[in-house]
């Protein structure tokens, strides 16, 4: 009799504890959430079967493989999540979300959450969104909540892209080929053609990269920062590498290449800049040397002679400087 009473007391304490955890750890609703606050979880026997999921971009069988291989490993998680829901009178808090402009929803997690509660909320949310005809689902997880990634992947989410502080996961609810846009495909670089009144071009030697230690003089180059215009990026790179102040004149040329940086494509813009100062102060961390170099000497380098793009840039840049400035590179 005493053992039965102790067991009953223990069961009651466990239920009360689960209730308290749900209240404390469930995320707050976003003020623009249009879905109802709570969704009553049904048993697995009465839940409609989830439609088959299409493959992610590139024809890879990622989602199908994840769903099948994760089935056994997610069984214990599902049982525990359902028991948590049952301990709170069958109610599961939906994940906070906002509607996007294309019939989807965006979940931006910001508050720490128990992984099992997250799993239960995610299952309930997906079921409700499927009923409402939602198509794409995005989950933005900050790096501090990386422990929740596994539970989203087990439900069929795939990696869309990652930045320094977060990972974006994606999911397609309809049983059709998904139309979610792919991640950014290009990186943008800039180069600067800067020439003074003495027919000298601004040239640098780099401390790193494929030209390191080869004694090759080249134009200042760099990568445009997020949200930065091409002309501003070119002026900034020249200032950082050489200390020379310049003003933008025009875009001289550009080229596109592929498989350049982690399989991304690359757009490279060469800009003509007019020098506003002439005393060089090189960037010690990245630049081995910098100088004003006679254009004929720059053009005579074997590297330039063999590099058709550099030869073209030099010829067009000199022609743009006006009559008498042209140089035909043999």
Domain boundaries, the chain: 97-172, 186-321
Q: Rounded to an integer, what distance in angstroms lies between the CA atom of residue 234 and that of residue 242?
A: 12
pLDDT at 175 over 80: yes
pLDDT digits (tens, 9 = 90+) for 244-270: 999 999 998 888 888 877 778 889 999
Cα–Cα distance list, 146 to 29, 66, 111, 136, 195 (Å): 21, 18, 12, 21, 50
User: Which CATH fold topology does 97-172 show?
Assistant: Aminopeptidase (3.40.630)
pLDDT digits (tens, 9 = 90+) for 121-152: 999 999 999 999 999 999 999 999 999 999 99
Q: What is the DSSP letter of 143?
A: G
Q: Rounded to an integer, what distance in angstroms lies between the CA atom of residue 301 and that of residue 37?
A: 70
| Kind and range of the H or E run holding 10 | helix 2-25
pTM, to two decimals: 0.61
Residues 6+ positions from 146 with CB-CB distance below 8 Å: 167
CATH 2.40.10.340 for domain 186-321? no
Q: Which structure tokens are listed for 41?
A: 């979880």
pLDDT digits (tens, 9 = 90+) for 62-104: 443 443 333 333 444 444 444 444 444 357 899 999 999 889 9
Residues 6+ positions from 231 with CB-CB distance below 8 Å: 248, 251, 271
- The catalytic residues are 240
Q: Rounded to an integer, what distance in angstroms lies between the CA atom of residue 153 and that of residue 167?
A: 12
């Amino acid at each position: 009799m005493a053992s039965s009473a102790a067991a009953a007391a223990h069961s009651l304490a466990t239920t009360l504890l689960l209730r308290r955890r749900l209240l404390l750890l469930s995320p707050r609703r976003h003020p623009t959430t249009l879905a109802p606050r709570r969704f009553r979880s049904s048993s697995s026997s009465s839940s409609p079967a989830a439609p088959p999921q299409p493959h992610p971009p590139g024809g890879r069988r990622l989602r199908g493989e994840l769903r099948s291989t994760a089935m056994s490993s997610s069984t214990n998680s599902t049982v525990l999540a359902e028991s948590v829901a049952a301990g709170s009178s069958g109610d599961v808090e939906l994940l906070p979300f906002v509607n996007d402009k294309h019939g989807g929803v965006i979940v931006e997690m910001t508050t720490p959450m128990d992984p099992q509660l997250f799993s239960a909320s995610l299952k309930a949310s997906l079921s409700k969104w499927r009923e409402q005809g939602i198509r794409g689902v995005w989950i933005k997880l900050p790096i501090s909540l990386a422990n929740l990634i596994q539970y989203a992947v087990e439900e069929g989410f795939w990696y869309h892209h990652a930045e320094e502080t977060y990972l974006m996961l994606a999911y397609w609810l309809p049983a059709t080929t998904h139309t979610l846009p792919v991640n950014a495909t290009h990186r943008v670089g800039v180069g600067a053609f800067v020439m003074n009144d003495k027919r000298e071009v601004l040239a640098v030697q780099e401390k790193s990269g494929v030209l390191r230690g080869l004694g090759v003089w080249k134009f200042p180059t760099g990568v445009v920062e997020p949200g930065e215009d091409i002309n501003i990026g070119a002026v900034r790179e020249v200032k950082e590498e050489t200390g020379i102040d310049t003003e933008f004149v025009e875009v001289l040329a550009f080229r596109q290449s592929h498989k350049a940086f982690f399989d991304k494509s690359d757009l490279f813009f060469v800009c003509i800049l007019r020098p506003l100062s002439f005393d060089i102060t090189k960037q010690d961390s990245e630049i081995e040397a910098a100088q004003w170099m006679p254009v004929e000497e720059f053009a005579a380098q074997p590297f330039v002679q063999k590099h058709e793009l550099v030869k073209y840039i030099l010829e067009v840049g000199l022609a743009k400087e006006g009559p008498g400035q042209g140089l035909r590179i043999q």
